[in-house]
A and B are shown apart, each in its own frame.
Chain A
């Protein structure tokens, strides 16, 4: 099952502990994670469910390409890292 990890900077606002979340796309993995941590969803995704403008996501070290649909695939043992961009600070 994929692992999800969040930037330390988000922890000041909302608790986002690392966790395992099932799914084979970024969307599925994040949906699974946020189902158990509802408060964190709006810190990462916007009102339409797209990745927030100044956030970035890496899967096994590679930046995702679909920021709206989050359709990038995630291996079963993959690592999804959610961090803030340098823009938007």
Chain B
């Protein structure tokens, strides 16, 4: 069971440590700085934290000693835009996509046979790969130059972004990338070429003729089951979707109380039928349904769902949980999630009961279990 939780917030990085059965804040880093993301690499313990300085841009820091010390490493940077390159305004928003790292939105380690390899997803939609633990980053030109990429558009943000990179544990060359809004993209050759051909994702927010266009989908988060890699879950803008064939086809799950809308999803590492979500009201009222914080859990692949409330506030609670703010540890027993209003909860029994660690942290963007 993991004894440490890393919490990236609007005002710093917080380390939460378990002592006995209680969790408490034991360390702060980057206090007062905007930490948009934290990741812990289970292969060798390397940690990254992404900072979004309002004035000075995005930066990336790395720790190789379990967070005791941090050093700035290379920030993924877009290449020089060619003078003759015409970036047409997006047909949906009219925005011209900048060639700048506006937000570091995802960092994921490569496969177990790829030490030192990391993938980085950004807003406005660029994907980067590092082969040297973040000392340098290579822009994945094949995806950026794909003629379908200009159809991507922002969901919540002004520009599209890559928030999910799922490496197949059986084959490190096989990637799935989640784009909001741009669908689920597959590469089977380490990012040299791409396809976006999944069927079944549905965009209710578009005219019926385009509702099933794979490129207009808004997956909020894409997660893959570690022990059954063909099984994936998506918390989509439109609801909950499940795939059992490596994202080739998706089944929409609609009968979930109190809501199918949300941002976060976690899947049990050893049981692809068990997944958790943190619902909210869709679309324009992004608060919990009836102002009650609820986690929904399915144990049967989405046939049925339970509403988990033990230990969660059930009146006048306005906590929204962002896409990277729910995590599950390697055992599948311990979960943690944090909210926009600075609340953090941990469950050590798969969500049956929750312990509140804090209700007054800064707005929480990302929650990740760490080792050691």
Q: Which residues of A contact B (CB under 8 A)?
A: 9-10, 13-14, 39, 42-44, 46-49, 52, 54-55, 84-85, 88-89
**A48-B81 in contact (CB<8A):** yes
B100 in the interface (beta carbon within 8 A): yes
**B55-A42 in contact (CB<8A):** no
B198 in the interface (beta carbon within 8 A): no
- Which residues of A are found within 8 Å of B99, using beta-carbon distances? 47-48
- 15 A-B contacts (beta carbon < 8 Å): A10-B56, A42-B56, A42-B75, A46-B100, A47-B99, A47-B100, A47-B101, A48-B78, A48-B99, A48-B100, A52-B55, A52-B56, A84-B55, A88-B55, A89-B54
Q: Contacting A54 at CB < 8 Å: which of B55, B77, B80, B100?
A: B55
**A13-B53 in contact (CB<8A):** yes
Q: Contacting B57 at CB < 8 Å: which of A9, A49, A52, A85?
A: A52
**B80-A13 in contact (CB<8A):** no
- Which residues of B are found within 8 Å of A54, using beta-carbon distances? 54-55
Q: Count residues of B near A (Cβ-Cβ below 8 Å).
A: 17
Total A-B residue contacts, Cβ distance less than 8 Å:
46
**A85-B72 in contact (CB<8A):** no
- A88–B80 alpha-carbon span in the complex (Å): 24
User: Of residues A14, A42, A54, A85, which shows the largest number of chain B Cβ atoms within 10 Å of its Cβ?
Assistant: A42
Chain A interface, DSSP helix/strand/loop, else mixed: loop
- Which residues of B are found within 8 Å of A47, using beta-carbon distances? 77-79, 99-101
Closest to A83 in B: B55
- Which residues of B are found within 8 Å of A88, using beta-carbon distances? 54-55
B59 in the interface (beta carbon within 8 A): yes
Tell me the smallest distance from the CB of B103 to a CB of chain A, in Å. Answer: 13
Closest to A43 in B: B56
**B77-A9 in contact (CB<8A):** no
Given A47-B99, A48-B99, are A42 and B57 also a contact pair (CB < 8 Å)? yes
**B72-A39 in contact (CB<8A):** yes
- Which residues of A are found within 8 Å of B77, using beta-carbon distances? 42, 47
- Which residues of A are found within 8 Å of B100, using beta-carbon distances? 46-48
Closest to A88 in B: B54
Within 8 A of A (CB), among B301-353: none
- A21–B54 alpha-carbon span in the complex (Å): 27
**A13-B56 in contact (CB<8A):** yes
Given A48-B78, A48-B99, A48-B100, are A43 and B72 also a contact pair (CB < 8 Å)? no
Interface string of B41-60 (1 = CB under 8 A from A): 00000000000011111010
Known: A48-B80, A89-B54. 6 other contacts (CB 8 A): A44-B56, A47-B99, A55-B55, A55-B56, A84-B56, A85-B55
Closest to B101 in A: A47
Interface string of B179-213 (1 = CB under 8 A from A): 00000000000000000000000000000000000
- Which residues of A are found within 8 Å of B72, using beta-carbon distances? 14, 39
- A89–B72 alpha-carbon span in the complex (Å): 21
- A39–B75 alpha-carbon span in the complex (Å): 11
User: Of residues B55, B80, B81, B98, which shows the largest number of chain A Cβ atoms within 10 Å of its Cβ?
Assistant: B55
Tell me the smallest distance from the CB of B244 to a CB of chain A, in Å. Answer: 40
Tell me the smallest distance from the CB of B49 to a CB of chain A, in Å. Answer: 13
